[in-house]
Every structure is written in structure tokens, then in C-alpha cells.
Amino acid sequence: MRIYVTHCTWRKDDRLRNTGEQVTPDRLYKGKFIEAFMRECKHKGVNWAIFSDKYGVWLPHEKYEWYDKDPNHVTEDEYQELLSDFDQKLAPYDEVRFYCPPRFHRLYKRLLRETRLRDRITTIRSVTQIF
């Protein structure tokens, strides 16, 4: 079983800010790369998730509220929790294809290096590699 994952973006639907409304990731995140990723995954009918700097692996059916978390401000304790969440939530998948757009923060590079699942991860550079 395969899943496609990409990292979150700072661009979010600001209409949701301070509302307390919980939404799915496709309603929260905005921006060219992430919207193209989600659109292609939905179109192809594949498993997908967003890696959030606050919530960890965010599956498409899960709902959370608007947040602001800069990857530069993830503490070591928070990172360890995010890493654990990544390993736990993605453990059922035989293959994890992680979409790495041109701007790829060192936090995500570290995550891919340190995950227990690193042997299952393949990085992709284009949404055309989603199948």
C-alpha cells in the first residue's frame, strides 16, 4: 500500500483564522504547490497526507483548526513528537512517496533522514509522479 505525503505551507485560508472551526487539510492550505499536490492525489484516487509542523501527519479526513507554526520554531521536543507521529501513522504503508517541491526546509530533510521508515520513502519532485 502506497501513500503520498508533502509538507505544509505557511499559506492558509485566513478566513478560518481565529474561528476555532476544524477543517480538513484541503480546506486550510493554499498555494500553488500544495493545492496542485492535493488536486492530483484526489484526481488519481491515491492515499495522501500533509505533514504539518504542528499536527504531524494530517490525513485528508482529519480535521484541525487554523494554526501558525513556523518550521524554524519547532523545538526539539516538538520535533521528537512529530517524528514519532510520522513513524506511527505511516507504519501501515509499504511505500511512502514524499513530494519535495523546490523549497524544502531542513526540518523535512531531517525528518526523512531520521524516520524509522526511511527505507520505504521515495522522494518525488513533480505531481506528475503521482500515479
Domain with 124 in it: what CATH number? 3.40.50
Query: DSSP string spanning the chain?
Result: -EEEEEE--S-B-GGGTTT--EE-HHHHB-SHHHHHHHHHHHHHT-EEEEEETTTEEE-TT--EE-----GGG--HHHHHHHHHHHHHHHTT-SEEEEE--SS--HHHHHHHHH-TTGGGEEEESSGGG--
Residue 101 pLDDT: 86
Residue 46 pLDDT: 98
Distance between first and last Cα of the chain: 13
Structural domain for 39, as ranges: 2-129
pTM of the model: 0.96
Q: Which residues contact 98 (CB under 8 A, 6 or more apart)?
A: 4, 5, 6, 108, 112, 121, 122, 123, 124
Residue 111 pLDDT: 98
Number of domains in the chain: 1
Residue 49 pLDDT: 98
Residue with cell 514524499: 98
Other Cβ atoms less than 10 A from the Cβ of 100: the count is 16
Using 70 as the pLDDT threshold, list the residues of the chain that sit under it. Answer: none
By residue count, the chain amounts to 131
User: Of 125, 60, 127, 49, nearest to 88 (Cα)?
Assistant: 49
